[in-house]
Amino acid sequence: MSSSAQGIVFSGRQAREHLSKHIREHGMGYPLVLDPSAYEKEVATPDSPFALEPPSLYGEDQFAATLSLLEGTRATLSLTPTKYLYSSREGVMALRRAVEMVNAVETTNLILSVPIDTAWLTELCDELITLLNGADIPTALILGSKGNPVDSERQAASLRRIIQEIEDIALLRTDMTAIDAMVHGAVFSSIGDTSSTRRTYPPPSRSYAPSPSDRSPNVLVPGLLAYYRGSKLAYHLRADTALCSCWACVDWADMGGGKPGTPGRPISGFQDKEDQRDAHAHNLEVWSGTWRELRREENPFLMRRAWSRLCSEAIDHHERYNRAISLKRDVFIPRPALRFWANHAR
């Protein structure tokens, strides 16, 4: 999302194919961003920060050939095929080399992909800011971790500092952290529609489900600003409580999905793999609605205050869920990042 438009970021191993199919079937009525996602498979080194294509027949070197291929996809913007950057001196040197390479070329629609291990936020924050401020093109952070990449107040504070101190920076493959980035200066952000696209896993790790038998979707709970697996919501919440009134859930009810006269869908109703599409539509509407609400504040300071207030209310809603809606107390715990967002409006 950006401050003025919504679009789609295509990531993963078949990103290019999915982008081409989307253009054939739907055209280009909104921004389309291509993320080659080289970081899912390879680790960056100072000698090889990018995954490069073979040299072309026209004498182009590998980097030039790679950029030519990206430009030929018709994407509105393309990310560089940067490999994964571990938080190490070698990772710092690899990022420095990546910046040098993109600064040496002329391009109009290229973004420097910066897929960093989450440890950069707390161990190499100063180096990261210095290096990215030296890039001549926009940059896009992608956070890597086996768990939630922003899982502490310290990480949330460091990420916000990075967003505020670097011009023309985006944050991709994340969760509601995207909104905190947007209200504090990111040029655009993207929220993944699955748990595996709300972060990247450090190679050679692969994404995994918490339970092989649990195929329920992840659901963004209105008011909590947090994702929970549908099976957990179904197990812990009282039936037919916490109705969602987003357009996707109201449409589901109008089509006969619930009891007659029910004005929405119980948030505990996304229990099976078959509910995946409905959950995606619901999640999209909830975070889009949150962003639309914040955008009503044209003054940046007032927007940040409004976001902080929503986060504070979300913490209160966690308590309400635990005391009035959940069958068991203390199931819904506010994440540390939410507490940071609530208490720091600057």
CA distance 344 to 346: 6
Per-residue pLDDT tens over the stretch 257-269 = 777 767 889 999 9
What tokens were used for 208?
């995994």
Span 143-201, pLDDT tens digits: 999 989 999 999 999 999 999 999 999 999 999 999 999 999 999 999 998 888 899 99
Chain centroid to CA 282: how far? 16
Return the closest-CA partner of residue 331 out of 319, 343, 339, 344.
319
Residue from 118, 139, 38, 124 nearest 88 by CA? 124
Residue ranges in 195-299 assigned as alpha helix (H) = 230-236, 247-254, 276-295
Q: What is the per-residue pLDDT for 305? A: 97
Distance separating alpha carbons of residues 13 and 51, to the nearest angstrom: 13
Give the C-alpha separation, 112 to 106, whole Å: 13
Band of the pLDDT at 328, cuts 50, 70, 90?
A: confident
Do you know the residue count of the chain? 346
Pairing between β-strand 8-10 and β-strand 32-34 as defined by DSSP bridges = parallel
Q: For the whole model, what pTM was predicted?
A: 0.92
Report DSSP letters for 104-131, one per residue. Answer: TS--SSEEEEEEEETTHHHHSHHHHHHH
Q: Is the pLDDT of residue 294 over 50?
A: yes
- What average pLDDT does the segment 77-90 reach? 97
For residues 88 and 123, the answer to whether their CB atoms sit within 8 Å is no
Give the β-pairing of 243-244 and 8-10: unpaired
Sorted by sequence, the CB contacts under 8 Å of residue 59 that are 6+ apart come out as none
Q: What is the mean pLDDT of the chain?
A: 91
C-alpha closest to that of 299 among 288, 290, 311, 307: 307
DSSP state of 201: P
pLDDT in tens, 304-324: 999 999 999 999 999 998 888
- Supply the pLDDT for residue 204: 83
**Residue 74: strand, helix, or coil:** coil
* Number of alpha carbons in the 13 Å side-chain half-sphere of residue 197: 17
pLDDT at 45 over 80: yes
What is the DSSP code string of 1-38?
Answer: -BSS---EEE-STTHHHHHHHHHHHH--SS-EEE---G
Give the distance from CA 246 to its chain's centroid: 21
pLDDT band (50, 70, 90) for residue 226: very high
Tokens 């996707």: give the residue.
Answer: 248
Q: Confirm if 27 and 19 have CB atoms less than 8 A apart.
A: no
Stretch (H or E) spanning 169: strand 169-174
Pairwise CA distance, residues 7 & 2, whole Å: 8
- Does the pLDDT at position 3 exceed 80? no
| pLDDT confidence of residue 58 | 56
Q: Report CA torsion sign: 195, 288, 8, 253.
A: positive
pLDDT grade for 276, boundaries at 50, 70 and 90: very high
Residue 57 has pLDDT above 60, yes or no: no
Amino acid at site 158 = S
- Output phi, psi for 125, to 5 deg: -60, -45
- Angle, helices 89-103 vs 125-133, to 10°: value is 10
Distance CA 301, CA 243 (A): 32
Count Cβ atoms below 10 Å from residue 330 Cβ, excluding itself. Answer: 10
